[in-house]
Structure 1
Amino acid sequence: MPSPEPPLVPPLPPPGHRTRPATLADVPAIHRLVALCEEDLHGHASTGADRIAADLTVPGLEPASDTVLVHDDGGEAVGWGWVRGRRATVQVHPRHRGRGLGAWLLAWVEARARERGGDRLAQTLADSDHAAVSLLVSRGYSRLVTEWLLHIATPVEPEVPRPPAGVTVRAFRPGDEQAAYRLTEDAFDEWQQRRKSYAEWAGHTVGRTTFAPAASPVAFAGDEMVGAVLSLDVPGGEEGYVERVAVRRDQRGRGIARVLLLEAFRAFQRQGRPGCTLWTHSDTGALSLYEHIGMTVRRSSTVYSRTLGAR
């Protein structure tokens, strides 16, 4: 017998908690919450405040109706959630878990998705977050794709091979934004569910305060961009981070991605960051490429999805 659907408007949160929509003024408080969750799960925080700001300003999300921020009686932010299209995020302060707050937030994002006319919802969870995984599975979510965080240590400057014939490589420059947008979105169209607008794409890449142009090499065949690695310089960490990797379809198999990645690793190493990380997932088919250049899996996450059903 299928589990009953929750009401369209979730009941009040657990006692001792109050809620309101999130705003840009809440970015520091949400960042502290997210950092505490990451430290609890992984031993260190990796998400920058600019990523929180990008999530709150992504086109199509209305913070007043698509976000919820939960405070305890002392005024501390202890949970939050947002929903946009078929994607949602829910996070709960480690000290406030086991009180029903996660279940309430899950009901809230599902209800909001239905109000927006959505028929399916997906969330990404770290595989080590066993309680959250159990909650989603109990609500009918199933595994969609696997994601891996890969890492490479560069205690010494890596050797970068020559680009293939007819290809030149240089660091990202002002004016490269539109070409990089078209290149990466064309490449990601092969597996992503929808094409991002330029504003949304820039908000998560070149428009972030942590964007690192010196560690973002781009490749050209003639005057056409055919490859790009876009990197972030996340504050407080010892590693660089690669946000996007893309090579134009007709230029693949020539070693361009390898050259660009090693250029990025070398740039970070010269800046005093003797290591680099990036995420990939099973739909891209790129895991073997990263392993071939010496990257190893540090941890994994899973995207869970469920059909919401008509209301």
Structure 2
Amino acid sequence: MELPDGLTSRPLEARDARAVFEVMAAQEMADLGMVEIEEADIVGDWGRPSFDVGDSTVGVFDGDRLVAYAEISGHDRGDAALDPAMRGRGIGTALALWMQDKVRSRGGSVIGMPVPEGSPGDRLLEELGYRVRWTSWVLKLPAGATIVERPLPDGYAVRAAEPAEYPAVHTVAEDAFLEWSEREREPYEDFIAQITGRPGFEPWQLRVVVDGAGEVVGVAHVTLALTEDERPPEAYVARLAVRRDQRHRGLAQALMVDAFAVAREHGAESSCLSTDSRTGALGLYEKVGMEVTSVWVNRAIDL
């Protein structure tokens, strides 16, 4: 990597997750005025059996301090972050070129990454020739607000998933997301590592709707975003999916109501989730009272 004098780079290790979180949090605070990432998100993602931390990451250091990082996750997805105090020195461009080279070396033909719309990262990628693939929104249900419940059809029930149902949860979620997501099917081992292997996981966080025969037909994964001050945690619905043949019965809304309610029972005062333009679900979430708090674009370039 071509870096300014005095800076060095190396592959990262699992022990660097905390430093990566701090850089990402600093960038989000500068760009969004809030921090949406959690250290547990990084630990969970890096814990996937298919993810080789050393071969898929790079860190930029000023002495012993991490000031920037990048990673390649999957065949065409990248992430990067830069300490706002280090902007304007060519580090972001160096990270983008590293990601391009890494994907080329793996036989890939495109690389993209999410950035806050209008942020310095967004402007840099546009200047480098990256196009917008899709837009994403983070939505929040304000503290004290509730989503109107929709009764489940007769015989259906919503509850915590049982461990024996985890493979069925994976099937329902992946089948739903692959209807619009252009990627390979995520192995069960990677899927479950991001859930049960995520620091702080408790069984109540994985929710399901089952039909009269006891089959899993809808799933939701809710986490608690723990803050580092005295503020109550915020609930985040990381996955929400309903089997294709079971849609238009109110199951997704029932899962949201359940996820937010059970998170509130565990101390959360507000709840949020994200969606993107490929799903067509933005209007649904706004209709039930959720409000957009940040807008992201996924920019990509053909290699």
The TM-score normalised by the length of structure 1 is 0.89
Secondary structure, counterpart of 2:217 in structure 1: strand
What corresponds to 2:236 in structure 1?
Answer: 241
After superposition, the C-alpha distances for 1:48-94 in whole angstroms (9 at most, x for unaligned) are 22221233333443333321111103x11100011242111121111
* 1:29 alignment partner, one of 16, 19, 28: 19
Shift in CA distance, 47/60, structure 1 to aligned 2, threshold 3 Å:
same
* 1:259 alignment partner, one of 249, 254, 277: 254
What corresponds to 1:6 in structure 2?
Answer: none
Secondary structure, counterpart of 2:267 in structure 1: coil
Q: Are residues 1:211 and 2:201 paired?
A: yes
What corresponds to 2:223 in structure 1?
Answer: 232
Native 8 Å contact 2:50 2:190 kept in 1: no
Secondary structure, counterpart of 1:77 in structure 2: strand
Instruction: Measure, in 2, the Cα distance between the counterparts of 1:288 and 1:71.
Output: 43
* 1:169 alignment partner, one of 148, 155, 158: 158
Secondary structure, counterpart of 1:180 in structure 2: helix
State the shift of 1:290 in Å.
Answer: 1.2
What corresponds to 2:126 in structure 1?
Answer: 137
* 1:89 alignment partner, one of 72, 75, 79: 79
* 1:48 alignment partner, one of 19, 38, 42: 38
Q: Unpaired segments of 5 or more residues in structure 2? A: none
Give the length in aligned residue pairs: 296
Q: How does 1:62-73 map to 2 (within 5 A)?
A: 62-73=52-63
* 2:214 alignment partner, one of 201, 223, 226: 223
Shift in CA distance, 66/171, structure 1 to aligned 2, threshold 3 Å:
closer
Instruction: Measure, in 2, the Cα distance between the counterparts of 1:60 and 1:82.
Output: 14
Secondary structure, counterpart of 2:181 in structure 1: coil
What corresponds to 2:291 in structure 1?
Answer: 296
Instruction: Measure, in 2, the Cα distance between the counterparts of 1:262 and 1:96.
Output: 42
Instruction: Measure, in 2, the Cα distance between the counterparts of 1:113 and 1:296.
Output: 36
Native 8 Å contact 1:149 1:300 kept in 2: yes
After superposition, the C-alpha distances for 1:205-226 in whole angstroms (9 at most, x for unaligned) are 3431233543543111121111
Q: Unpaired segments of 5 or more residues in structure 1? A: 1-9
Native 8 Å contact 1:205 1:243 kept in 2: no
Instruction: Measure, in 2, the Cα distance between the counterparts of 1:87 and 1:217.
Output: 27
Instruction: Measure, in 2, the Cα distance between the counterparts of 1:216 and 1:57.
Output: 18
* 2:4 alignment partner, one of 11, 14, 19: 14
Secondary structure, counterpart of 2:164 in structure 1: coil
Q: Are residues 1:278 and 2:273 paired?
A: yes
Letter in 2 for 1:142: R
Instruction: Measure, in 2, the Cα distance between the counterparts of 1:158 and 1:88.
Output: 34
* 1:78 alignment partner, one of 45, 67, 77: 67
Instruction: Measure, in 2, the Cα distance between the counterparts of 1:218 and 1:55.
Output: 22
Native 8 Å contact 1:37 1:93 kept in 2: yes
* 1:107 alignment partner, one of 77, 97, 116: 97
After superposition, the C-alpha distances for 1:103-149 in whole angstroms (9 at most, x for unaligned) are 111111111111112111111111141x2112111211101111000
What corresponds to 2:135 in structure 1?
Answer: 146
Letter in 2 for 1:118: G
The TM-score normalised by the length of structure 2 is 0.91
Letter in 1 for 2:159: R
Instruction: Measure, in 1, the Cα distance between the counterparts of 2:25 and 2:298.
Output: 20
Secondary structure, counterpart of 1:83 in structure 2: strand
Segments of 4+ moved more than 4 angstroms? 156-159
What corresponds to 1:4 in structure 2?
Answer: none
Deviates more, 1:103-112 or 1:36-45: 36-45
Instruction: Measure, in 2, the Cα distance between the counterparts of 1:165 and 1:292.
Output: 25
State the shift of 1:244 in Å.
Answer: 0.5
Instruction: Measure, in 2, the Cα distance between the counterparts of 1:304 and 1:250.
Output: 33
